[in-house]
Amino acid sequence: MFYDGFFIDGWNFFYRMCISIVESLEDKLCDYNDPGDFYIGLKLGRRDENVSYEEFKKLWENIINKAYLIDI
């Protein structure tokens, strides 16, 4: 899905994707009371053994779909 967006819209899609990732992790990245949440946010690119493949896939699909809605 990412490559489809990138090949269609180029770098604009990449920038929208970056914004979408930061927005999706905003709560976790801003919660300095629990360093564990910050670590989980940084691990977004990896599939954790505690997270099913379907949940992992759905998370990234949501991020990509949000990226298409961002205006730059």
Q: Give the pLDDT confidence of 28-39 residue by residue, as tens digits.
A: 666 555 555 555
List, in order, residues 6 or more apart from 64 with CB less than 8 Å away. 1, 2, 5, 17, 20
Residue in the block written with tokens 């604009």: 12
Mean pLDDT of 21-33: 69
Q: What band does 54 get if pLDDT is binned at 50, 70 and 90?
A: confident
Domains of the chain by residue range:
2-69
Flag whether pLDDT at 21 surpasses 90. no
Measure the CA–CA gap between 60 and 62, rounded to whole angstroms.
Answer: 5
Q: Strand (E) positions, 1-72?
A: none
Which pTM was predicted? 0.61
Tell me, what DSSP letter sits at residue 9?
Answer: H
Mean pLDDT of 11-31: 81
Q: Which residue, 30, 12, 14, is CA-closest to 63?
A: 14
